[in-house]
Amino acid sequence: MKRWMIALASATALLTSSAMAQEKIKIGAAPYGLNAEFMQIWAAALQEHPAVKSGEVELTVFDGRYDALVQQDQFKTMVTQKYNAIIFAPIDVDAGAAAVQSASDAGIPVIGSNTRVNSDLLTSYVGSDDTISGYMEAKTVLDKIGCKGNVVILEGPVGQSAQISRLEGNKKALAECPDVKVLEDQTANWSRAEAQTLMENWLTAHPKQINGVIGQNDEMALGAIEAIKAAGLDVKSFAIAGIDGITDALHAVKAGEMTSILQDARAQAQGALDLAIFNAKKGDYKPQSDIWTTYKDMPWNDGKEKIYNVPWTPVTAENVDQLLATRK
């Protein structure tokens, strides 16, 4: 009987200790792809989250390789391995829905981050509203040219959610300046080299007529700057804007060549991770990232919100040095 008791006690001890080891929360992050700077900052921010550093959370980042099917398979893996929560930045608004469904069926909370997905099953979403950035960047260009003159727009890949929303924002700002004419409006697929070629050709087709360049991301705005320089024109006589706040663009802002609207990858990532832990622990959690104190406009609200909108920050001569210091 005594031996029995000991056996039982040790078994209980074993069980509890293994249960304690299991308390380490397993969270998977599924970004659409890790080739570009923005998502690298995003992924690095996850690793720097206090809960990951302290070992409270075991984090795995899956590279979606810009393929909706790859992401779907990664969700299957996470479901089979019983992850406690998933952070999802889908490549496609609609194709991501099936992946969210599969996790939801298995009772795993999914937190959206950065890119949107058409699904009601998303627990929460932390991102920035692209229509706002589209409006903000177009406004800086239009303000600089005094609401009159001619502009060109360099668009993202047509049909991508960021392109659609940023264009909507661009158009909203343009509607406020009816005297401004959009001379050209084409996609350069987020690419600096493609934008450079387009801008070279536009400068030829509209000599001395282009006053402003609205680039829907920084890469394309930078391509336009190179084309202007190559044509022997003065970059500072153009109003040029981009979105994202990538490092090269920060340097260009510092040089007075363009303006950029910073999308805070770090806040989107760490905010989503706090929400993922919160939901994995069924509400028994206080957010640990400092982003909640940085952005007063985005309150934590006990983790109950469906959508957390990370504010955009215009990059200016005043804050550019501080931002550059964070990029090493």
Partner 1 sequence: MSVGDDKKAKGWLGSEQRRLLVQEYGIFLAFLILVAVLSVSNEFFLTAGNISNVLLQTSINGVLAIGMTFVILTRGIDLSVGSVVALAGIVSASFVTSSATAGISGAPYPVALGIGIGLLVGIACGAVSGLIVSRFSVPAFVTTLGMLSAARGLTLIYGGGRPVPALTPAFRWIGTGDVFGIPAPVIILAIVFAVSWWILNRTRFGRYIYAVGGNPHAARTSGINITRIQFVVYVISGGLAGFAGMLLSARTGSALPQAGIAYELDAIAAVVIGGTSLSGGVGRVTGTLIGALIIGVMNNGLDLMGIQSYYQQVLKGALIVGAVMLDQKRNYGA
How many CB atoms neighbour CB 184 within 10 A? Answer: 17
| Minimum distance, C-beta of residue 80 to partner 1, in the bound complex (Å) | 27
Cα–Cα distance measured from residue 225 to residue 212, given in angstroms and rounded to the nearest whole number: 11
One residue of 6, 15, 69, 231 binding partner 1 per CB under 8 A: 231
Q: Which is nearer to partner 1, 44 or 175 (CB)?
A: 44
- 3-state secondary structure (DSSP) of residue 291: helix
Q: How far apart are the first and last CA of the chain?
A: 65
Closest CA to 272 of 54, 71, 122, 121: 122
Per-residue buried b or exposed e for 190-208, using 16+ beta carbons within 10 Å of the residue's own CB = bbbebbbebbbebbeeeee
Number of residues interacting with partner 1: please give it, by CB under 8 A: 31
Of the listed pieces 52-60, 74-82, 204-212, 311-319, which binds partner 1 according to CB under 8 A? Answer: 204-212
Contact with partner 1 (CB under 8 A) among 101, 186, 294, 309: 186
- Quote the least distance from Cβ 193 to partner 1, whole Å: 6
C-alpha 87, offset from chain centre: 12
Which of 151, 221, 222, 228 touches partner 1 by CB under 8 A? 222
Q: Is 143 in the site for partner 1 (CB under 8 A)?
A: no
DSSP 209-226: T--EEEESSHHHHHHHHH
Q: Does 178 bind partner 1 (CB under 8 A)?
A: no
**CA–CA gap between residue 28 and residue 42 (Å, rounded):** 14
Among positions 13, 175, 193, 317, the unique one binding partner 1 when judged by CB under 8 A: 193
- Contact between 226 and partner 1 by CB under 8 A: the answer reads yes
Determine which residue in the list 7, 205, 307, 317 makes contact with partner 1, applying CB under 8 A.
Answer: 205
Stretch that binds partner 1, among 6-14, 96-104, 166-174, 203-211 (CB under 8 A): 203-211
The span of 4-12, 50-58, 194-202, 268-276 binding partner 1 (CB under 8 A) equals 194-202
Q: Does 67 bind partner 1 (CB under 8 A)?
A: no
Find the shortest distance in angstroms from Cβ 265 to partner 1.
Answer: 13
Show the DSSP H helices in 109-261 as ranges.
130-144, 161-175, 192-205, 218-230, 247-254
Q: Does 201 bind partner 1 (CB under 8 A)?
A: yes
- Cβ-based neighbours of 118, under 8 Å, separated by 6 or more: 93, 94, 96, 97
Which stretch, 5-13, 22-30, 222-230, 289-297, contacts partner 1 (CB under 8 A)? 222-230
Binding of partner 1 by 322 (CB under 8 A): no
132, 184, 311, 319: residue in contact with partner 1 (rule CB under 8 A): 184
Interaction between residue 248 and partner 1 (CB under 8 A):
yes
Closest of 264, 266, 272, 299 to residue 57, by C-alpha: 272
Q: By C-beta, is 201 or 316 nearer to partner 1?
A: 201
Per CB under 8 A, 37 contacts partner 1: yes
Tell me the pairing of strands 85-89 and 25-31.
Answer: parallel
Any idea which residue has 């899956």 for tokens? Answer: 62
Q: Which residue has 């229509």 as its token pair?
A: 131
Binding site for partner 1 (CB under 8 A): 34-37, 40, 184, 186-187, 191-193, 196-198, 200-202, 204-205, 207, 219, 222-223, 226, 229-231, 247-248, 251, 328
